[in-house]
A and B are shown apart, each in its own frame.
Chain A
Amino acid sequence: MDIDDILREVDPASQSIPAETRDLQALTRAWVAERSSPELLRWPADGLFERVNDRIKQQIERVEEMTGDMDPKTNFALIVIQTELERFKYLVRSYLRARIAKIDQHTLHYLSSPDMRARLSETEQAYATRHQALLHNHYLSSFLSAFPPALQNLNDSAGNISMIDTPDTDTAVFIRLLKDSLVEGRGTDGDGIMDGKNGDIIILRWSDAKPLVDSGRAEVI
């Protein structure tokens, strides 16, 4: 056991916020951020979703057990457990769907570089690759093959405009500061800078907000 783990176990601050609350906060934050930011965010590397999915599976098993034993006293508990289960499933589903919607919209962009690919989970990478291949084959068989070879590409960048659509990372977003932080945002006539306080709700460009969000100093809302 690492010394940090021991320190953490004796630290009352982390003990009184149970792991379940932490995961729910992290899951909720990831969902809101994915729903509100203009580009696909990185798939959580700390195994959050794998953990949550495992626990959802366990809870479904528990529900099945409880349904088997028809004690009316557990009936209300069952309703509560099932209601909560549906809420968790909704969060996970909506999160995944928000991501797939972004991947669908800019598939080639997210497949175009190792950096972008790294944002996708393994399943999402497989999905995006297959989906793009299917789409390309469909285009080829229905119309692309009738074009002159020079016009068959889907990733041309002639004429100063790329066929690979990218999300506009300068789109404005709302963030909430979680710590007092210096906030810098590029503007039209002049750039903005402010001494942000914990709890401030700020509008700025996503490209300026991203470093704050990535470092955990702010969350997208």
Chain B
Amino acid sequence: MATQSTLKNMLLCLTLVCLVCAAILGGAYAMTYNPIKQANENILKASIGAVLPEGGTISDQKTASYGGRTYTYYEQLSGDAVQAYAVKSATTGFGGTLELMVGVLPDGTVNSTRVLSHSETPGLGAKCQTDARFIDQFKGLGPDKSVKLRADGGDVDAITASTITSRAYTLAVSNAVEVVKSLKKEN
């Protein structure tokens, strides 16, 4: 039979249970703090590596602002010269924020792109992570060819039935290119 529901018992019971649970959570948080940091760094490093040409060393995180927003980017250095930039670029897709890592050469040419996080529809917009026919179109765009969907007067073919996702993806890439171009102007 359960303990009687007097005010004292209820207070005592809830307080104790919450204290123990808080202690367990604190312990778990402390235990996983470093592994989580490590795992997130690995994901970031892998995505930077995937969008940049090979070789060179990656700089620490830097920030630039463009169009009223702050972008995080990384420089790939070979010697003192910047070989390429990896720009983290986020836009709003169909289901929420679509975050990309975009590799851009100093002259504003797109090298490669990769999805960091998305909430697009599985089977439709979510294909933007895997559909090579869509992703490969971005390589080489930038300096003279603008990064736009064909429907908007550009050269990029959208993923079938996922125009909003494709447009968000394209905008994210195009923003990243503009960030790199604005960096060049400053220097």
**Chains A and B are bound partners:** no
